[in-house]
Chain A
Amino acid sequence: MNIYIIIIITYILKFIYSLNVGLLPDEAYYWEWSRHLDFSYYDQGPGVALYIKLFTLIFGDTQLALRTASNVASLVTTIFVFKISDILEFSKIQKIYLFLFIIFIPAFFAGGFLVMHDSPFLLSWSGALYFTVKYLKDRKNFLLYPLFLFLGLGALSKHTMVFYVFSLVIWILLSPKEFSIFKNFHFYFGILITFFIISPVLYWNLNHNWDNIDAIANLRSAGSINVKKFNTGSMIIGQIFSISPLFYLLIIFIFIRYFFTEISRTSFIHYLKSILYIEDTKSIILKFLLINSIILPLFFLVMSIFRVIQANWLYASYLPIALLLIFHLNFKNYENKLFLEGLMIALILDLFSVFSIPISKTLNLSIDPYYILGTRNLGFQEIADEVSQIQKEKYPDSKIITNRYQDAAILSWYLPEKPFINSVNILQKNQYNYWYDMEYGKDYILVYIQEKTCAKSFIFFQPILVKTFEKIEQFPEKDIYVDGYLVKRMQIWYLKNYQKNWAEDISNLLQHQMVQEEMVVGLKKKKETRKFKRDKMDQFSGIGLIKGYLERSGEMECSFLLKK
Chain B
Amino acid sequence: MEGTYRNSTEVGSLGGVPIYMADVVDACLIGRLNLFLQGDTGAGKTQLARDAMGYFPGKNTFVLGRNDLDVRELFQQINLGKLRTAKNTGELKEVTSKINNHLTVVDELPNCVPAVRAQLFNMFDGYIELNGVAYPIGKGYSVGIATGNIGQKFTESSNELGRALRDRMHVIVDVDYFHPTPSDTLEILAKDTNLRVDFARKDEDRSQDIISRNKSLALQPIPLEKIIIANYLIHGLDYCSKGSKRKMKDNWPTELEDHEQGSDVGLILPISTRAAKSIVMLSQSFDQIVKEKGGNPEAFESMMQAFRFVAPYSGILNEAEVHKNDKYAGNHYDAVDAVISTTTTQFSEQGDNIAAGYEMVRNGEKDQRILDRFTKRWSFMKDTLSGLAKKVKEE
A and B interact physically = no
Instruction: Using CB atoms and an 8 Å cutoff, list the residues of chain A in contact with chain B.
Output: none
Interface residues of B (CB under 8 A from A): none
